[in-house]
Structure 1
Amino acid sequence: MSLAEADILRRAMGKKDLVAMKEQKAKFIDGADAKGISKKIAGEIFISIDKFANYGFNKSHAVAYSYIAYQTAYLKAHYPSEFLAANLTNEFENTDKVSNFLEDCRRLEIEVLPPDVNNASVNFDVMDDRIRFGMIAIKNVGKNAVEVIIKARKKLERNFTSIFDFCINVDTRLVNKRTLEGLVTAGAFDSVDANRAPLYDAIEKALEFGGKMQHSVFSNGDSLFGGMEDLEITEPELQDIKPWSEKERLGKEREAVGFYISGHPLHKFDVEYNSFTNFHIGKDKNINEEDVVKVCGVITGVRKKIDKSGKNMAFFTIDDFSGSCECIMFSKIFANDGGYVEEEESVLVVGKLESSGDAVKIHVNKLMPMDKAREQLTKSINISINKDVVSPEKISLLKQIFEKNKGNTPVFLSLGKNGFHGSLYSLKDYRVKVSEELIKEVTSLFGDGSLRINS
């Protein structure tokens, strides 16, 4: 091969271009044959080249990667809180990676504390093996604003007692309206007042009140904070406003940060997620565009449009525990399932994948809310019990649960021991209705992962 032809082969290897590699194989073998090398040997050499093209490193590169992999594995195994806190700080702008790290925290039972104006932290820090949320990750809350909050709290030598007290004592040129909106919706004032709705409503009033109090102190010749405690301050009253629903609260958190903090709408559907899903957005890398995938997730970023034929269609993002991807619902599907395409709705999406560079899209064939998916797809349920840790008395409580949740779904029971699954028994005398109540009762009795839905 000439140098130019060799460079074409090099590029094909680098880009993992299977079509180009096939073309180059014939040229390589013919060229080797012309140089007196048998076609058999040339073919064996090219097979080695082809394997290397699929995924290969030179030795020094492989050793360096192995060394780093060992170091990070050691840190995650022995210092999991510190390891995940460092990764969250490093990747806070990448919402897919943050979602993965937060899910790791949940699986490892590492508590992630919400942002807190009374324990403010610029980055994600570790406190008693718990991770304190880094405020720099909140939109419109920069490093300077967080440092102002930390400085004011330190100077006061006490906690902020209200949003009005907070605005009196911080520099509102740096902690402005948009900063306060981000702090409230992200839950940073929950230690002051857990009802975020009236706090959000009072933001402008609090800033105005804080400005007036600071101006009053300046007028009396004091410094910004000095002498403030000598004043008798009567704070305005918060309005009596209904608290945000869980769905609304989590939705506003996601808007403020880019991901959920105090929970995830999908957690209430853990059993359905583990039972129905066959594709995890941020984890599954082997993509076959012919495969039909089932994804459980939360709808965000809805855009409804009119197609060329004058019919409704929709684009939206689906978020699961591992990442997010765009979904396209054409008019034919929208006519049947478009009514379920709502912000913050937990749904099951069935469709085909389309690879788009490093990302994937899903062409939706079917969409339904999670409770409807549970109702329509459930054929039977499996309950797994470890006899080593569960007493016979506890197992006997199943009868009461079945009696309270009578229905048409068959029940199978797996009794494991010494880490093995054991035999599977069909409980022919019982049929149940697989409801949220049944799932909650079984999992609270035998633990997460004890119930699985067969579809």
Structure 2
Amino acid sequence: LVQATPWGVKERLVYEKTAVGFYLSGHLFDEVVTEVRRFAKRPIAELIDTREPQLLAGIITDFRVINGQRGKLALFKLDDGSGVIEARADEALINAHKDLLKDDELVIVMGKQQPDRFSGGMQLTVTQVWDLEQARCRFGKYLRVRAATGPQGLKLDMARLLRDFPAQKEVTEQGALWRGLAVRLALTCRGEEGAAQAELQLGEQARFYPSNAALASWWAQAAPGTAEIVYE
């Protein structure tokens, strides 16, 4: 066989779907389900009958755009492995999230479940959309980093991490907003007479944008399993 870089999980599953029409060896949502369920807790299969907005997450499939009475309308299915629901988004959301609203993308959405007069089933009218990085900023409280100090001080290059992954500025109708996640250090100071523990909330200048690359860098410097986003 030709020497080649192995496919990632998403690439493999997308090719499986292209070849046979469905995900064969897994589901795209499986990669993120543990983290996503910490804030979007209700699976699609457990949707409740309410007129209140519900927070859901899933993979977009069968995405298409049609011309509706009030402009363009996106119609798609939202699939989280537990179930599938038909969804719709208006032209404003289409324009604001062109790179996100497409097949095989993970989205976190806020929407209201309503009867679909055409199919006789239920349809989700989407009012807000986030990707996973944006959802971390919206629903995460802070990144807790557990670190130990010794004779040489704190072994964590926070200055570089904050410089490489700064908070991002977003211009909205309400003005400029900074999107980022706060950092809290859980310190363990060890000495000859034992150990002391404390948590330090870093200031606003320590906010960073929680991309996958940024989190990987934090995890690489902290001990395994000791850097995590706190959602509640």
TM-score range, shorter chain: 0.5 to 0.7
Distance change in 2, residues 1:331/1:435 (3 Å): closer
Is residue 343 of structure 1 aligned with residue 103 of structure 2? yes
- Within 5 A, what are the aligned runs for 1:285-300? 285=47, 287-300=48-61
Flag structure 1 segments of 5+ consecutive residues without an equivalent.
Answer: 1-191, 196-241, 416-422
Could you tell me which residue of structure 1 aligns to residue 159 of structure 2? Answer: 403
* Aligned mates of 2:96, 2:123 — CA distance in 1: 20
Q: What is the aligned-residue identity percentage?
A: 17
Deviations 1:214-250 (A, max 9, x none): xxxxxxxxxxxxxxxxxxxxxxxxxxxx987764432
1:62-81 equivalences in 2 (<5 Å):
none
Displacement after TM superposition at 1:316 (Å): 0.8
SS in 2 for 1:297: strand
Residue 304 (structure 1) shift: 1.7
Whether the 8 Å contact between 1:347 and 1:370 is mirrored in structure 2 is yes
Q: CA deviation at 1:360?
A: 4.8
> Is the aligned partner of 1:438 residue 2:214?
yes
Closer/same/farther in 2, CA of residues 291 and 330 from structure 1, 3 Å limit: same
Q: What RMSD in Å do the two structures reach over aligned CA positions?
A: 4.2
Corresponding residue SS for 1:254: helix
User: In 2 relative to 1, CA 290–328 (structure 1 residues): closer, same or farther, beyond 3 Å?
Assistant: same
Q: How far apart are the structure 2 equivalents of 1:383 and 1:366?
A: 27
1:126-141 to 2 correspondences below 5 Å? none
Name stretches of at least 5 consecutive residues in structure 2 with no aligned partner: 168-180, 188-196
Q: Describe the shift of the 1:383–1:244 C-alpha distance in structure 2 as closer, same or farther (beyond 3 A).
A: closer
TM-score by length of 1: 0.36
Question: Which residue in the other structure is 1:259 paired with?
Answer: 23
- The one-character-per-residue Cα deviations of 1:1-41 (angstroms, maximum 9, x if unpaired) are xxxxxxxxxxxxxxxxxxxxxxxxxxxxxxxxxxxxxxxxx
Query: 1:443 offset after TM fit, Å?
Result: 5.0
Do the aligned partners of residues 453 and 316 (structure 1) sit closer, same or farther apart at CA in structure 2, a change above 3 Å counting?
farther
Matching of residues 28-427 of structure 1 within 5 Å? 247-255=10-18, 256=20, 258-259=22-23, 261=25, 264=28, 267=31, 271=35, 273-282=36-45, 284-285=46-47, 287-309=48-70, 311-338=71-98, 340-354=100-114, 360-375=122-137, 377=138, 380-383=141-144, 396-397=154-155, 399-400=156-157, 402-406=158-162, 407=166, 409-413=181-185, 425-427=199-201
CA deviation digits over 1:65-121, x for unaligned, max 9? xxxxxxxxxxxxxxxxxxxxxxxxxxxxxxxxxxxxxxxxxxxxxxxxxxxxxxxxx
Aligned to 1:452: 229
Offset, 1:341: 1.6
Distance 1:316 1:330 in 2: 12
Secondary structure of the corresponding residue to residue 50 of structure 2:
coil
**Counterpart amino acid of 1:405?**
L
2: distance between equivalents of 1:359 and 1:252? 30
TM-score for both structures, normalised by structure 2: 0.63
Cα distance in 1 between the residues matched to 2:111 and 2:125:
5
Give the distance between the partners of 1:346 and 1:313, measured in 2 at CA: 19
Q: What is the SS of the residue equivalent to 1:438?
A: helix
Alpha carbons of structure 1 residues 278 and 424: separation in structure 2 relative to 1, 3 Å: farther
Number of residue pairs aligned between Structure 1 and Structure 2 = 199
Supply the distance in 1 between the matched residues of 2:83 and 2:64 (Cα, whole angstroms): 19
1:342 Cα deviation after fit: 1.0
Which of the pair is proportionally richer in strand?
2
Counterpart of 1:345, as a letter, is E
Amino acid at match of 1:249: R
- DSSP-derived class of the 2:77 partner: strand
Structure-2 change in CA distance of 1:276 and 1:247 (3 Å): same
* 2:54–2:111 CA contact under 8 A, matched in 1: yes
Q: Choose between structure 1 and 2: higher helix proportion.
A: 1
What SS is found at the alignment partner of 2:182? strand
Q: Equivalent residue for 1:428?
A: 202
CA contact (8 A) 1:293 1:351 kept: yes
Partner-residue secondary structure (3-state), 1:340:
coil
Pick the structure with greater CA Rg: 1
**Aligned in 2, Cα 1:262/1:443: closer, same or farther, shift over 3 Å?**
farther
2:62–2:77 contact (8 Å) kept in structure 1: yes
1:411–1:427 CA contact under 8 A, matched in 2? yes
Distance 2:230 2:139 in 1: 6
Question: Relative to structure 1, is the Cα distance of residues 362 and 392 closer, same or farther in structure 2, using a 3 angstrom cutoff?
Answer: farther
SS of residue matched to 2:82:
coil
| Bigger relative contact order, structure 1 or 2 (CA pairs below 8 A, ≥6 apart) | 2
